[in-house]
């Protein structure tokens, strides 16, 4: 299935996911389909980033960017189906490879490239209780992080 070029800005995204204010790290939805979502974030250099440490914005924060893209994906699917999305919880991140130490000190991109993180999450498998995604985070043409994440949905447990 091809990606829909639907876009949303930060405020539209924050209205759909459980993160608000500065904790909503995504700046823009670029496209999505039932299997995939592509988002952008531009706050990685912000000295007031809510996940920044004294050492900077460390690369594992890429997992949080990806998790928020996954949450947005679930909300968009629910919205398209006319049903509220079931809240999900990041249960695990596996096979994560971080190709940089920090996200705040990346080289400025060449002309023609935005100084944004590109976050992509692709649904690999799932059912009404859990979903497995593969994710990547890029800056310009450079792969910063990749891995898989399991999301457990807030569904009742059978007795």
Instruction: Say what the pTM is.
Output: 0.92
pLDDT at position 79 is 87
pLDDT tens figures, 85-128:
777 889 999 999 999 999 999 998 877 778 999 999 999 998 87
122 in Cβ contact with 149 (< 8 Å): no
27 in Cβ contact with 12 (< 8 Å): no
Contacts of 145 (CB under 8 A, 6+ apart): 59, 62, 63, 66, 96, 97, 98, 99, 100, 135, 136, 137
Residue 5 has pLDDT above 90, yes or no: no
Residue 152 has pLDDT above 60, yes or no: yes
| Cα–Cα nearest to 37, from 45, 46, 28 | 28
Q: How many CA atoms lie less than 13 Å away from 58 in the CB half-sphere?
A: 5
Structural domains for the chain: 8-153 (3.10.129.10)
> pLDDT tier at 138 (50, 70, 90 boundaries)?
very high
């Amino acid at each position: 299935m091809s990606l829909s070029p639907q876009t949303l800005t930060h405020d539209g995204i924050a209205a759909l996911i459980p993160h608000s204010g500065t904790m909503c790290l995504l700046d823009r939805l670029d496209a999505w389909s039932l299997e995939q979502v592509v988002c952008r974030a531009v706050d990685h250099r912000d000295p007031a980033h809510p996940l920044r440490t004294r050492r900077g914005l460390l690369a594992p924060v890429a997992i949080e960017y990806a998790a928020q893209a996954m949450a947005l994906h679930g909300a968009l699917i629910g919205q398209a189906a006319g049903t509220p999305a079931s809240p999900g919880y990041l249960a695990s991140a596996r096979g994560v490879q971080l190709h940089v130490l920090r996200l705040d000190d990346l080289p400025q991109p060449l002309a023609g490239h935005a100084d944004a993180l590109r976050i992509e999450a692709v649904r690999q498998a799932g059912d009404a209780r859990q979903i497995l995604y593969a994710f990547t985070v890029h800056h310009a043409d450079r792969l910063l992080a990749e891995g898989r994440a399991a999301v457990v949905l807030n569904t009742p447990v059978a007795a």
